[in-house]
């Protein structure tokens, strides 16, 4: 009998009606003869509500207690779905992280999974139950509750699928699959029938939140068959797969927009060995991830160093940078929150020249100023002013993916 892991996101379990619909879908899978484990997110908006509550009571709320709080959202959903399944005559048992023994390190809010004990879930399933697992949460060595990062119920699902050696991991969400751009932003975006793990990893890392990036990484490492589908209809979704030759021919498979960016510049830094380390080591030691970095050619022995990072970390990074700037005699520190990162992604870029140049032409035609540029083997990213983020996304989508049917698209 096939074993499937189904994951339902916040909107999919966002109301009593939605939970009834999800239970019905799970019941159908069980009636087909599949053995089923389900992973659920908190009901839509709940995790944000809980974070906001914590912030009302403490400007930088204690990380351990914040995890105790925000992990409750998933507990509620798991219990509600199990209650509904049992009411439908479909035996179901909920599992929280401590019951699943989903062991993590102790980095609250961004804990890494160390192991999962498959035995308890497996025996519940073998006894004819649906296992309903609370996503997003883990337990550390001390037995403290941790969480795996925003959007990380996807990661719970893929990790569980890998541990159970499931035949497929189905990610159910509020769109029909992975699109060439966020369909809620770009009306001409089209659903892809297939996308490679590498491209999906880039898209996820660049802001396409349809799949959380660590979940894609894990799926690639353990070769978990992964499909993204809608919980609102029965349309075919998008399969995340290994690359094949036909896919290499597609130049750009997706365009992403990340509005959660900020930019910090140290102006007039002396141009001598060791200063980049002086700036970035304290930031790394604070656990802050920096994204793009540029250093201008020096004039008069001084240079500007600019970098981008997520908005959530910008306050802490700014404090550190101001301290270093004073120590190294930099001429000033500038900080900008109104920036966005727009990227194009496609494995075809490996073998095609001129993609970046075309991207710059498209932005120039829209009179959008490019503030920073970064490239990798299969992507080009630019930083632009936030207010042009959506316009840039649509213009690039239309130029690279366009109105003609994209290879790999269903439509």
| Residue 47: contacted member of Mg ion, ligand ASP, ligand ADP, none (CB under 5 to 8 Å, by partner type) | ligand ASP
- Shortest distance in whole angstroms from residue 224 CB to Mg ion: 17
Helix axes 275-285, 311-328, angle to 10 degrees: 140
Pick between residue 214 and residue 341 the one whose CB is nearest to ligand ASP. 214
| Residue 97: contacted member of ligand ADP, ligand ASP, Mg ion, none (CB under 5 to 8 Å, by partner type) | none
The backbone torsions φ and ψ at residue 225, rounded to the nearest 5 degrees and listed phi first, read: -65, 120
- Shortest distance in whole angstroms from residue 184 CB to ligand ADP: 4
Dihedral sign for Cα 140, 144, 149, 151, please: positive
| Single residue of 4, 5, 8, 10 touching ligand ASP by CB under 6 A | 10
Binding mask 117-156 for ligand ASP (x = CB under 6 A): ------------------xx-------------xxxxx--
Angular region, 255: left φ>0, alpha ψ -120 to 50, beta rest: beta
Extended beta strands in 67-222, E state: 92-95, 103-104, 113-115, 130-134, 137-139, 145-147, 168-173, 194-196
Distance CA(79)–CA(74), nearest Å, equals 9
Distance CA(197)–CA(217), nearest Å, equals 8
Q: Which two tokens stand for residue 212?
A: 């959380």
Pick between residue 73 and residue 138 the one whose CB is nearest to ligand ASP. 73
Pick between residue 209 and residue 358 the one whose CB is nearest to ligand ADP. 209
Pick between residue 41 and residue 231 the one whose CB is nearest to ligand ASP. 41
Binding to Mg ion in span 7-46, by CB under 5 A: 9
- Nearest-5° Cα angle at 117, 239 to 173: 30
Binding mask 104-143 for Mg ion (x = CB under 5 A): ----------------------------------------
- Footprint of ligand ADP (CB under 6 A): 9-12, 41, 151, 173-175, 178-179, 181-184, 203, 208-210, 254
Pick between residue 136 and residue 197 the one whose CB is nearest to ligand ASP. 136
Pick between residue 152 and residue 382 the one whose CB is nearest to ligand ASP. 152
315 CB-near residues (< 8 Å, 6+ apart): none
- Site size for ligand ASP (CB under 6 A): 13
Q: Is 408 in the site for ligand ASP (CB under 6 A)?
A: no
8 A C-beta contact, residue 140 and residue 178: no
Q: Which two tokens stand for residue 387?
A: 């207010």
């Amino acid at each position: 009998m096939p074993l499937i892991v189904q994951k339902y996101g916040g909107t999919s379990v966002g109301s009593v009606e939605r939970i009834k619909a999800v239970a019905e879908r799970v019941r159908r899978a069980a009636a087909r003869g599949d053995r089923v484990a389900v992973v659920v997110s908190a009901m839509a908006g709940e995790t944000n509500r809980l974070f906001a509550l914590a912030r009302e009571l403490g400007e930088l709320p204690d990380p351990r207690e914040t995890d105790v709080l925000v992990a409750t959202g998933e507990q509620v959903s798991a219990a509600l779905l199990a209650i509904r399944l049992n009411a439908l005559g479909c035996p179901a048992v909920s599992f929280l992280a401590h019951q699943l023994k989903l062991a993590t390190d102790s980095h609250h809010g961004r804990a890494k999974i160390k192991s999962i004990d498959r035995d308890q879930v497996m025996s519940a399933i073998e006894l004819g139950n649906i296992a309903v697992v609370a996503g997003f949460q883990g337990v550390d060595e001390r037995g403290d509750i941790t969480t795996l990062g925003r959007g990380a119920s996807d990661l719970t699902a893929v990790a569980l699928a890998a541990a159970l050696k499931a035949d497929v991991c189905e990610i159910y969400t509020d769109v029909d699959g992975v699109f060439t751009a966020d369909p809620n932003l770009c009306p001409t975006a089209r659903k892809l029938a297939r996308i490679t793990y590498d491209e999906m990893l880039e898209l996820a890392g660049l802001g396409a939140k349809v799949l959380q990036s660590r979940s894609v990484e894990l799926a690639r490492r353990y070769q978990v068959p992964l499909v993204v589908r809608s919980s609102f209809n029965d349309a075919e979704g998008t399969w995340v797969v290994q690359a094949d030759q036909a896919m290499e021919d597609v130049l750009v498979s997706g365009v992403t927009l990340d509005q959660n960016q900020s930019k910090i510049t140290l102006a007039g830094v002396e141009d001598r060995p060791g200063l980049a380390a002086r700036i970035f080591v304290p930031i790394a030691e604070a656990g802050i991830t920096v994204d793009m970095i540029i250093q201008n050619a020096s004039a008069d022995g001084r240079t500007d160093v600019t970098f981008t990072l997520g908005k959530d970390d910008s306050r802490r990074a700014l404090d550190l940078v101001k301290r270093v700037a004073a120590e190294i005699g930099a001429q000033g520190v500038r900080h900008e929150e109104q920036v966005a990162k727009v990227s194009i992604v496609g494995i075809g870029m490996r073998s095609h020249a001129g993609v970046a140049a075309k991207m710059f032409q498209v932005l120039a035609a829209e009179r959008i100023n490019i503030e920073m540029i970064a490239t990798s083997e299969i992507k080009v990213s630019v930083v632009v002013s936030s207010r042009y983020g959506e316009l840039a996304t649509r213009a690039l989508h239309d130029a690279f993916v366009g109105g003609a049917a994209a290879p790999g698209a269903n439509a």
